Structure 1
Amino acid sequence: MPLNVDELVAIDIHTHAEEPCKHGETRDDGYMEFQAGMAKYFGNPAGADGMLPSPGQTAAYFRERKIGAVIFPVDTERETGFHRYSNEEVAEICAENDDILIPFASIDPWKGKMAAREARRLIRDFGVRGFKFHPTMQGFWPNDRMAYPFYEVLEEEGVITLFHTGQTGVGSGMRGGMGMRLKYSHPMSIDDVAVDFPDLKIIMAHPSFPWQEEALAVAQHKPNVYIDLSGWSPKYFPEILVKYANSMLKKKMLFGSDWPAITPDRWLADFEKAPFKDEVRPLILKENAKRLLNL
């Protein structure tokens, strides 16, 4: 049954497909420690034992709450050594749960022409609506020219790009930060992408600590750039972020939880208590995403 947007109370633009995705109980070396570190950072038991909800379980959780969910894996094979989860499998699970799940994919841009070729196939054959990038986990500057052939395909096909920005819980507190370099997720490098690909729809994920003002400047200046509010409880949002969300960027802010690290239940409960204007809340929760996704 296709997605019925009118019946949804919200659209979560940022959820993760983790496992099992054909890897069953097999884990790569270091994966359990990585997930335990994430669980500690977010104060969330999910992942403490190395087990996270499957995309099917995610669909059931969001269906019960009448929340649509954009869901994606993250391809970080090159930097972490962890096998990626199958984009095709996630898309197939989304097709089986198309009343609630919206498929995004992830391909490491360092895969070059292979990335561009796979992206076009996923869009045309599997109905993928967007692509997740994690510059810190993938070890690249978003404005590195090596990624541009990949972006060209995404702009031509009219899909969405979603870039992690700001600090990350990945590797937090681990020796050497697990090799993760925070510098790659500075939002200002996305400004170049927005200039060079003016018709590419871009979402900067998360409040971009410690570069929040730079992210707001890019979103305000570039018509094709949006911000999702995932990865943080709204009670911790910087004052300036709320101020912009309530005014000039009210049509560019998107609800995202960062499931399973942060649950929609927790995010939405804190959102109710945060100082957002009543007329802005429905825009953030659903209407902006509905427009951006052409639902």
Structure 2
Amino acid sequence: MDFDALDAVDMHVHVEQDDHGCFSLDQELLDASAAYFRSGQERTPTIEYIAAYYRERNTAAVVFTVDAMAGTGHPALSSEEIADAAAAHADVLIPFGSVDPHAGKAAVARVRRLVADHGVRGFKFHPSLQAFEPNDTAFYPLYDAIAEAGVPALFHTGQTGIGAGLPGGRGIKLRYSDPMLLDDVAADHPDLTIVLAHPSVPWQDEAISIATHKSNVYIDLSGWSPKYFPPQLVRAANSMLRHKVLFGSDFPVITPDRWRADFDALDIKPEVRPLILKENARRVLGA
């Protein structure tokens, strides 16, 4: 991948459908998420769709699914198939893997296989959807394996649109996505690069504090239109966290076009914009 030739790197793109016609979530959760984000575009994009979409925009996309079989009972899309399909579009796609933390030693072994055999460049976790407390030391061997592989771990933080508006939120618990749980992980795994995904509403100040305190912690700005960013996040991005925040859209629920149009309207310093749009991602990805 020629990073110099790209305009941007989108750190947060979901693969919602595979080539077998299977979906990443059941229909009720897909519909609830679409309603929450008021998304009208293609809702279940395949790898091929994503590659063409991002190639038109001269933008790289970090692509992944979430393996939440234990948390939701819904069979996950294959991270192996996603990574192998992404390899055919290596000019624009960067594959991340996902493993179910509840799989224990099998998850650790799968992390190593995904990196060694399928070229995965990082891992995605969604503590609320996967129903786990990320600072539980039972999951530490998983983080050790990711750190040993030299790739980052991307964690959903804050509120989620998945389950939003449904009775009991479909049993999905927001507290698992409190970024303070990841402060423990970052402290105990200093060699692990951690990305806190999304403005961490209602824990934005905590996320800023962690990213300021821990050199191995970053924040991606996906999942919210920039016009709704908390003001303290904009201030931090312009100053002390200028090298720690990353462009991410959360496609398909938010498009990179919408995100970047709203980002252009933010009061972000000219010298900071290229850091957020591309250069900070290069550092996280080791590119």
- Bin of the TM-score, shorter chain as denominator length: over 0.9
**Residue 278 of structure 1 pairs with residue 276 of structure 2:** no
Q: Deviations over 1:153-187 (max 9, x none)?
A: 01111111000000000100011101100000000
Q: 2:69 aligns with which of 60, 77, 82?
A: 77
Aligned in 2, Cα 1:27/1:196: closer, same or farther, shift over 3 Å?
A: closer
Corresponding residue of 1:199 = 191
Corresponding residue of 1:237 = 229
In structure 1, how many angstroms separate the alpha carbons of the residues matched to 2:23 and 2:263?
A: 35
**Is the CA contact (8 Å cut-off) linking 2:179 and 2:207 kept in structure 1?**
yes
Instruction: Decide which moves more: 138-147 or 199-208.
Output: 138-147
**Is the CA contact (8 Å cut-off) linking 1:21 and 1:89 kept in structure 2?**
no
Aligned-residue identity in percent: 55
- TM superposition shift of 1:20: 2.4
**Is the CA contact (8 Å cut-off) linking 1:34 and 1:171 kept in structure 2?**
yes
**Is the CA contact (8 Å cut-off) linking 1:21 and 1:90 kept in structure 2?**
no
Corresponding residue of 1:148 = 140
Corresponding residue of 1:45 = 40
- When the two structures are aligned, how many residues end up with a matched partner? 287
**Residue 129 of structure 1 pairs with residue 129 of structure 2:** no
RMSD in angstroms over aligned alpha carbons? 1.2
Corresponding residue of 1:11 = 9
- TM superposition shift of 1:45: 2.2
Amino acid at match of 2:28: E
1:159-238 equivalent positions in 2, closer than 5 A: 159-238=151-230
Corresponding residue of 2:28 = 33
Q: Deviations over 1:41-80 (max 9, x none)?
A: 0011247xxx511011001000000000000010011111
Corresponding residue of 2:247 = 255
**Is the CA contact (8 Å cut-off) linking 2:98 and 2:125 kept in structure 1?**
yes
In structure 1, how many angstroms separate the alpha carbons of the residues matched to 2:119 and 2:266?
A: 36
**Is the CA contact (8 Å cut-off) linking 2:11 and 2:62 kept in structure 1?**
yes
In structure 1, how many angstroms separate the alpha carbons of the residues matched to 2:233 and 2:34?
A: 26
**Is the CA contact (8 Å cut-off) linking 1:233 and 1:267 kept in structure 2?**
yes
- TM superposition shift of 1:27: 6.2
- Alignment gaps of 5+ in structure 1: none
TM-score (norm 1): 0.95
- TM superposition shift of 1:264: 0.1
**Is the CA contact (8 Å cut-off) linking 1:110 and 1:146 kept in structure 2?**
no
User: What secondary structure is seen at the aligned counterpart in 2 of 1:275?
Assistant: coil
In structure 2, how many angstroms separate the alpha carbons of the residues matched to 1:211 and 1:20?
A: 34
TM-score (norm 2): 0.98
- Alignment gaps of 5+ in structure 2: none
Q: Deviations over 1:9-50 (max 9, x none)?
A: 00000001110243x2x569x811211111110011247xxx
User: What secondary structure is seen at the aligned counterpart in 1 of 2:194?
Assistant: strand
User: What secondary structure is seen at the aligned counterpart in 1 of 2:253?
Assistant: coil
**Is the CA contact (8 Å cut-off) linking 1:109 and 1:146 kept in structure 2?**
no
